[in-house]
Amino acid sequence: MPSRRLVLLAATTAVTLLATSACGLGSDDSGSGGGKGRTVVRIAYQDIPNADLVVKDRRLLEQALPDAEVKWVKFSSGGDVNTAVIAGAVDLGLAGSSPVTKGLSAPLNIPYKVLWIHDLIGANEALVARGGITEVRQLAGKKVATPFGSTAHYSLLAALKAAGVDPAQVQTVDLQPQDVQAAWTRGDIDAAYVWTPVLTELEKTGKVLITSQQLAEQGKPTADLGVVTDSFAAAHPEVVTAWVKAQDQAVKLAKGDPAAAAESIGRQLDIPAAQAKAELGQLVLLTAAEQAGPEYLGKPGAPGRLAANLRDAAEFLKTQQKIDAVPDASVFAKGLAVEELARANG
């Protein structure tokens, strides 16, 4: 396990170009691209067909915050988002439950909180194989690609464990989604655990062995989460409230008029609206009121079940030597932004 110093060094190196364009001198400094005293909101997003892309496409946050400068910065995985947060390059962002669990654990100990559940991951994330492989147990001795530190990586390890396959028997390679597709096309890998839209392309010539929805039913749920840094949440509560309300508006649109939401998602992903609608339908979206329930984020004084789910994930990641130690349950309870969610719901 690398030291925190090495992690920070890697993070700083990885986001040098990003910092030049998105970080600047701070969230309220003219050096970050806005006028003097103007709030700059730097948001990390990913190509995942959920309501976050609706917020971006329809400029819901920009409309809610006309005096702020909103910067959307694209990332390939939650691990990359963690890296950017450590380097001080983003304020809010989307990361899977596995990267967030790692972020809240040693050695990272990232000072951020879970503000939103973008989606509960279902059949949109899966393990797909080819070459006559029809069962997970047949992956022993094979080359399998997945973005390390992602929810897909966590699910891959869970799938191997459930099938009685020692991860050491599998040649697991760290590839971002777009690189997974390229490696698949070249025939460099036998299988991959990845999410849509890349998953959709792999399914055309491969066979799905297990989905994240099936693993959730087996007690290994995963989700895409929205995080906010502690410093930004404290300095800009009005922005955080506006962000939650924008996300809630987009979720309600996706639930009430999925075709309209799919048009926005399709534009952002450069895919047909019909495909975007199908991929959107593979996710479970929750409104702000639903997220305040006991099964999810919860309320002030009563953190929701998500905290326990994250700790369960930490216990699993520790067995795989992906984190140094399993944090106390209070770390994950404090890691839920229930005060901020309650304010937005109020």
Q: What is the pLDDT of residues 186-224, one digit of tens each?
A: 999 999 999 999 999 999 999 999 999 999 999 889 999
Q: For the chain, what percentages of helix, strand and coil (3-state, to nearest 5) are there?
A: 50, 20, 35
Cα–Cα separations (whole angstroms), residue 2 to 18, 105, 313, 327: 23, 13, 20, 18
CB within 8 Å of 19: residues ≥ 6 apart: 87, 88, 89
- This prediction's pTM: 0.83
For the chain, the first-to-last Cα distance in angstroms comes to: 43
Give 149's pLDDT tier (boundaries 50, 70, 90): confident
**Structure-block tokens of residue 278:** 């199908």
Q: Which residue has the higher pLDDT, 199 or 22?
A: 199
Q: What is the pLDDT of residues 285-311, one digit of tens each?
A: 999 999 999 999 999 999 999 999 999
pLDDT at 227 over 50: yes
pLDDT at 28 over 90: no
pLDDT (mean) for 59-74: 98
pLDDT (mean) for 305-324: 92
Using DSSP bridges, classify how beta strands 171-174 and 40-45 pair: parallel, antiparallel or unpaired.
Answer: unpaired
pLDDT (mean) for 104-120: 97
pLDDT at 2 over 70: no
